[in-house]
Amino acid sequence: MLFQVEMTVRIPAEMPTEVADEIKAREKAYAQDLQRAGIWRHLWRHAGLYKNTSIFDCRDNAHLHEVLMGLPLYPYMKVEITPLCRHPSSIHEDDR
């Protein structure tokens, strides 16, 4: 199943820089592992914001939940999820 996920990150201003940098490094490694595995299909940054729009390919809702809860920055995120399905007018044979 494909999901569009918008993530807005709000790291607390009082968080020490070293702590924030360590969390961001773990987040980057986890995100890149998910991309290599084909789970995190697309990742776009919103210009000027600490926000992204991503496409995830998960088995089901529970799998997406598990993936998102594993994000080191998850406690500092506002997440909006939209399940996606193929449009009948699409000229593409797959969803890549």
Note the pLDDT tens digit of each residue in 43-82. Answer: 999 999 999 999 999 999 999 999 999 999 999 999 999 9
Q: What is the CATH number of the domain that holds 41?
A: 3.30.70.1060
For residue 34, being part of any structural domain is answered with yes
What residues make up the domain containing 20? 2-84
Report if residue 22 sits inside a domain.
yes
Q: What is the rounded CA–CA span in Å between residue 6 and residue 96?
A: 19
Look over the chain and give the mean of its residue pLDDT values, rounded to a whole number: 95
Q: What b/e readout covers 21-45, taking b as 16+ CB neighbours within 10 angstroms? A: eebeeebeebbeebeeeebbeebee
In a domain, 17, yes or no: yes
pLDDT, residue 95, reads: 65
User: The pTM is what?
Assistant: 0.91
Considering the domain boundaries, does residue 90 fall inside one? Answer: no
Question: Domain total for the chain?
Answer: 1
What's the token pair of residue 18? 């070293």
Q: Considering the domain boundaries, does residue 94 fall inside one? A: no
Is residue 29 situated within a structural domain? yes
19 pLDDT more than 80 = yes
